[in-house]
Structure 1
Amino acid sequence: MPGTVHDVHDIRTETDIDPELAARLRQSAERTAVTGQPDPDTLAELRGSGLLGTAVPREHGGAGGDPAEVNRVVERLARLNPSLSIMAFQHFAVSSRIAEWGSPDQKRELLPRLADGTCLAASAWSEQGAGAAKRHLSSTAVRRPDGTWVLDGAKSFTTTASVADLYLVLVRTGDLPTDPGSGYGAAGQTFFLVDAGNPGLVPDLSLDLVGMRGSATGFVSMRECVVADTDRLGPEGLAAQIIAGVRESGATLGAVAVGVALAAFELLVEHLGRRNQLASPVVRDRLVSMATRVESARAMVERAGARSSADPGMTTLHSKLHASAVAEEICLQAAGMLGSTGYTAASGVNRLLGDARAVALMGPTNDLCRELVASTWPN
C-alpha cells in the first residue's frame, strides 16, 4: 500500500536473533543508556544465545564463521543494542587471535569456553600516553627467573571491563624503540592472556561515557600481576605482527556503525509512519537518500568481510571510516526530521548518535585509520 514503511524501507532484513531476545536487547539498550552500567541479565542471555561462538572454529565447538559472518552478527546486534555489539565484537576479535596464534593448549582450554559463552573475552590495549597507534606503551611485563612474568601498568577505554572472564593485554617486554615506526603497535610488545580472577588485575568502571554506555568500558590496572609464560599469546616482542593481522582479517567496526545507522533509520521511519507522513514526496525522497547511504556503508562492510579486494586491509580501514561517518550522518538527519521529538533527552536517536560517535573513537580510531591509509601513498 502507498505510504507504508516498506515502500521506503527495503533495507530492513530479518535477523537470526530470537524475536523475544531481540526485544529484551532493545529494552536493555534503553536502560543502560540511563544507568551507564552493563546489564548482567542481558549479558547472561548473550552468553547463552550461542552467538559468542561465531568466530571460533568448528573443531573447537564454535560456528566457524568467517569475517563476513562475524560482521553480519555484529551488525544485527548493533541494530538492537550497540553496547552489546561492541562487547561481542571484542570477544570475536580475541577468539580469532587465539584461533590463529594460540598454542595447542590455549586453543584446547579456551576456545570451547569462548564458544559456549562460559568465557567472555575483552581486549586491553589502550593506555594514556600510548597514542592511538599504541606505539609508546608504559605498561610492562618483566620475566622472572622462574619463567613467569610480572605485568604492571594501566589500561584505559577497555570494553567489557569488570564483566569479562579473560583479557588480551598488550604490554612492552622489550626496550621502548627510539623509532617505533608508522604502523599499529611497535617492536618489543607482547600479548598476554590474563584471567579475570588474577588478583593483580583490577577493573574500574568510573568512566562516564556519552555513547556505548552499557559496554562496561573502563580502566584496567595491573599491579604485580603474575602470569605464566604459557599465558603469552604469540611470540615474545612480536605483537605488532598479530595486530597487523587483525586489520587484514576483514572483521570491521564498520559493522557496528551500520547497525547503529539502521536502528536510527528504523526509528525515524516508524515515527513518520505513526504521524502519517510517509506519503509526502519530500519525506520519501529524503528517506530514500538516507537508505542509499546506509546501503553504501553496508556494501563496504560486506566487501571487507569477503576480503575480495586487492588490498583487504585497506578495505577494512575504509569500511570503518565510511560506515562511522554514515552512521553519524543518519543519526543527525533523523534528529532533524523528528523535529522537537529529536531534541529531547528521552529520544532514542540521541542515544544512537552517541553510539555512532563512539565507533569513530574506537581503535583503530578514525584518525589512525586515515594515517594508515595515507602511509601507503608516496610522499
Structure 2
Amino acid sequence: MRPLLSAELRARLSEDAARSDPADVPHREALAALRTSGLLGTAVAARHGGAGGDAAAVNHVVEEIAAVDPSVAIIAFQHFAVSARIAEWGTEEQQQRWLPRMAEGSCLAASAWSETGAGAAKRNLASRGERLPDGRWRLDGAKTFTTGAGIADMYLVLVQTGRPAVTPQGYGAGGQTFFLVEAGTPGLVADLGLDLAGMRGSATGLLALDGCVVADTDRLGPAGGAASVIAGVRESGASLGAVSVGIAQAAFDLAVRHAEGHGLLKLPTVRHRLVELATRLEAARAVVARAGARTSADPGMTTLHSKLYASVAAEDICLEVARMLGSAGYREGSPIGRLLADARGIAFMGPTNDLCRDLVAAAWTR
C-alpha cells in the first residue's frame, strides 16, 4: 500500500517520538498535525465526511503512525474504535453530531472503560450510572488507563447502570451501559497521574466522574447492553496488532541502519539475523492484514490471534535488535529502549494478551 503520512505529519511525529524529556502527552505540534491530516476520518463513512475506510485501512494507518510514534498511534487507534462504535450503534442524531467532527479532526475521541478492580474483562465495574427522574443520567466513579485523557474532545465511557450479570461473550457484563461524554462536561475531570514505562506520550491517565450528568441521548446503544457493543469490537478486524507491527518495523529499520553504518552487512551472520527478523515482521504484518480483510470463517478469532502474535513478535524483535546494537542500545533514552517499552505495553492493552488467550480457549469448550 502507498504511504499515507504526509511529510509534515511524519516530521512532527518523529520530533515527538525522539524528544528526550519524559512526557504524558504528545507535543502540541504533533497533535495538531494529526488533527489536520485527514487521517482521523479513515473509519468514518463518506456521507459524514470521512474516507469510508474498512478495518484494513484502519490497520494500515495505525501501522504507519506507529512506525514513527507508537504513542500517537494508540491515540489514533482509540479514536477509530470510537468512531466505528458510533457508526454501528449510534442513533442518526449521534452520528450527525459526532462523526463529521471526528472526520475533520476537530473532535478527537477516547475510550474510558478500564478501572481499578474491574479486571481485564471489565466485569466488576465500580463506576455507576443512575437514571434521574427527568430521564437524564448521573455518572459517578473513576476510570483508569484512559488513553487520550485530557486531550480528547469526547469520551466513550462504560459504567454499571443495572444489576451485574456475567455474559457469555466473556468480556463485559450485563447491566453495563456506554455514554458519549463531551470534554468540559461538569463533573468530568482528567488527570495524567499515571507514570507508564512505555507509551509515554499517549496521554494515558485517569478520568474522574463526579456527579457528571448527561442526557439520555448521550447513551450509546441499549441501556444495560454494553456487552453486545463490546462483543462486536473485535469482529471489525481493526487490531492493536497493527501498532505492534509498526513498532517492529521501526526496530528493524534501526537494526539495518546500525549494520550499514558499521559495515556489518558484509557478514553473513548479520545478514541472516536480519533476514530472520524481517521474516517474523512480515508474518506479523500478514496476520494483521488477514484480520483486517475479514476473510476468515471467524473474523473475531483472527483479530484476537493477530493481536497476540504481533504483540509478542514485536517485543521479541525489539529485544533482538537491542542485543544487536549492544552498548549503543543500552543508553538511557535510546530509541530501541523506548520501542521495547512501547512494545511491551501492547500486551496490557484491552483486551490484554491473557484475556485474548482466555477468549480463544473458550471457543474450544463451547
SS in 2 for 1:187: strand
Would the aligned equivalents of 1:167 and 1:193 in 2 still touch at CA under 8 Å? yes
Would the aligned equivalents of 2:12 and 2:33 in 1 still touch at CA under 8 Å? no
Find out whether 1:193 has 2:191 as its counterpart: no
Separation (CA, whole Å) in 2 of partners of 1:107 and 1:64: 14
Separation (CA, whole Å) in 1 of partners of 2:41 and 2:132: 35
Find out whether 1:293 has 2:280 as its counterpart: yes
Would the aligned equivalents of 1:158 and 1:217 in 2 still touch at CA under 8 Å? yes
Would the aligned equivalents of 2:8 and 2:33 in 1 still touch at CA under 8 Å? no
Q: Render the CA deviation track for 1:224-249: whole Å, top value 9, x for unaligned.
A: 00000000001111100010100101
Please report how far the alpha carbon of residue 26 of structure 1 lies from its aligned counterpart in structure 2 after TM superposition.
Answer: 1.2
Q: Render the CA deviation track for 1:105-140: whole Å, top value 9, x for unaligned.
A: 101111000000000000000000100000111111
Would the aligned equivalents of 1:192 and 1:231 in 2 still touch at CA under 8 Å? yes
What is the total number of aligned residue pairs between the two structures? 366
Separation (CA, whole Å) in 2 of partners of 1:358 and 1:32: 19
Alignment of 1:80-119 (within 5 A): 80-119=68-107
SS in 2 for 1:164: coil
- Which of 236, 256, 261 aligns to 2:243? It is 256
Aligned to 2:153: 165
- Which of 312, 315, 320 aligns to 1:328? It is 315
Amino acid at match of 2:22: V
Please report how far the alpha carbon of residue 14 of structure 1 lies from its aligned counterpart in structure 2 after TM superposition.
Answer: 5.5
Would the aligned equivalents of 1:32 and 1:38 in 2 still touch at CA under 8 Å? no
Find out whether 1:25 has 2:13 as its counterpart: yes
SS in 1 for 2:17: helix
Would the aligned equivalents of 1:141 and 1:152 in 2 still touch at CA under 8 Å? yes
Would the aligned equivalents of 2:24 and 2:204 in 1 still touch at CA under 8 Å? no
Would the aligned equivalents of 2:290 and 2:302 in 1 still touch at CA under 8 Å? yes
Please report how far the alpha carbon of residue 39 of structure 1 lies from its aligned counterpart in structure 2 after TM superposition.
Answer: 1.6
Alignment of 1:1-379 (within 5 A): 15-31=3-19, 34-177=22-165, 179=166, 181=168, 183-378=170-365
Separation (CA, whole Å) in 2 of partners of 1:276 and 1:260: 25
Separation (CA, whole Å) in 1 of partners of 2:338 and 2:117: 29
Q: State, as a whole percentage, how many aligned pairs show the same letter.
A: 63
Separation (CA, whole Å) in 1 of partners of 2:174 and 2:25: 36
Please report how far the alpha carbon of residue 180 of structure 1 lies from its aligned counterpart in structure 2 after TM superposition.
Answer: 5.1
SS in 1 for 2:364: coil
Please report how far the alpha carbon of residue 23 of structure 1 lies from its aligned counterpart in structure 2 after TM superposition.
Answer: 2.1
Separation (CA, whole Å) in 2 of partners of 1:108 and 1:59: 10
Amino acid at match of 2:26: P
Separation (CA, whole Å) in 1 of partners of 2:237 and 2:215: 31
Please report how far the alpha carbon of residue 181 of structure 1 lies from its aligned counterpart in structure 2 after TM superposition.
Answer: 4.9
Q: Render the CA deviation track for 1:63-119: whole Å, top value 9, x for unaligned.
A: 000000000000000001000000000000000000111011101111000000000
Amino acid at match of 2:16: S
Would the aligned equivalents of 2:24 and 2:192 in 1 still touch at CA under 8 Å? no
Please report how far the alpha carbon of residue 378 of structure 1 lies from its aligned counterpart in structure 2 after TM superposition.
Answer: 2.5
Separation (CA, whole Å) in 1 of partners of 2:167 and 2:227: 10
Separation (CA, whole Å) in 2 of partners of 1:78 and 1:189: 32
Separation (CA, whole Å) in 2 of partners of 1:112 and 1:323: 32
Separation (CA, whole Å) in 2 of partners of 1:108 and 1:32: 41
Separation (CA, whole Å) in 2 of partners of 1:149 and 1:75: 38
Tell me: CA distance 1:94–1:32, structure 2 relative to 1, closer, same or farther (3 Å): farther
Aligned to 1:8: none
Separation (CA, whole Å) in 2 of partners of 1:270 and 1:233: 48
Q: Render the CA deviation track for 1:157-213: whole Å, top value 9, x for unaligned.
A: 000000000000000110123x45561101111000000010110000011111100
